[in-house]
Amino acid sequence: MSTKKMKVFPVISRIILISLVVVWIYPILFSLQTSFKTLDEFFANIWALPMGISLQNFAKAFVQGHIGEYFFNSIVIAFISLISIEIISVMAAYALARLKIPFAGLIIILCFAIQLLPTETIIIPLYMMMSKLGFLKIQYIAIVLAYVGWSIPGTTIILKNFFDTVPKELLEAARIDGSGEIRNLFKVVLPLMKGALSTCIVMNFTFVWGELMWAKTATLTTTRGLPLTVGLMNFKGEFGTDWPLLCAAICMIIIPLYVVFLFLQKYFVSSLTAGGVKG
């Protein structure tokens, strides 16, 4: 009886996993096939494949729908945010893991507590603070500061756990050779942390690229510096019934997420499996 259960379990697991993959991937495939259709084809049969492959919707969305402008804004926001998050989090994590920082344990607990706070609870206080400081009038700054502040605690926790796995003997040997802490960090430790850094980059990029609530709130009084998520809402309002055009815009938004993951997947997967085998 137990043998039969052991044989049935892998089959059921595969069926569940395949079903979940279909549920997650189908909306993307539907958007992709719709983006190649004309409006008449879409309303004739929304489930049918396109009669041909045309990039007209992509070109129209990029130029007339201002997706190119929104795309550039999102790239600037993501680049500045990711660079700031990684640099600050790496230094904070190294200090908490390897230097004798007073109340380091309390700092980590506070980072966890900040991560547990729902983003929605701090939107209004954050907006009031940014407004009084005048940051809402400066392009990108309000969005970037919020993203950096939200992402640093979680990134610091992840990197700190990886720094703890680096052998102390390696750092002590570097110190004996006259290497300072900054040199140890960038020359000794960071080359060993490609997996951890890639994991943080993928996670933070996914958040920054797809965040909507704060981006919409921070740009309520301006039309400058709108990221893709906010621009897509305006795009939908402007081209309300042109679903092939809207799907083309959606495809242009999600493509960078897949590109980033494809380039970093080797390090991302290795970081997830790190520690699974003890040598």
Residue 83's pLDDT band, with cuts at 50, 70 and 90, is very high
Average of per-residue pLDDT across 240-265: 79
Give the chain's radius of gyration (CA, Å): 23
pLDDT of residue 1: 46
Average of per-residue pLDDT across 187-191: 78
Tens digits of residue pLDDT in 24-41: 888 888 888 888 888 888
Contacts made by residues 216-219, CB under 8 angstroms, sequence distance 24+: 217/123, 217/127, 218/127, 218/130, 218/136, 218/142, 218/143, 218/146, 219/143
Integer angstrom CA distances of residue 210 from 62, 214, 216, 217, 230: 18, 11, 12, 14, 10
The percent of residues above 90 in pLDDT, for the chain, comes to 19
Residue 164's pLDDT band, with cuts at 50, 70 and 90, is confident
What residues does each domain of the chain span?
63-273
The topology under which CATH files domain 63-273 is MetI-like fold (1.10.3720)
Residue 237's pLDDT band, with cuts at 50, 70 and 90, is low
Question: Could you tell me which residues come within 8 angstroms of residue 147 by beta carbon, excluding any fewer than 6 positions away?
Answer: 77, 81, 85, 207, 208, 211, 214
Tens digits of residue pLDDT in 127-155: 999 999 999 988 999 999 999 999 999 99
pLDDT of residue 223: 83
Q: Distance between CA 164 and CA 97 in Å, rounded? A: 6
pLDDT of residue 275: 44
Higher pLDDT, residue 234 or 115 = 115
pLDDT of residue 81: 95
pLDDT of residue 267: 62
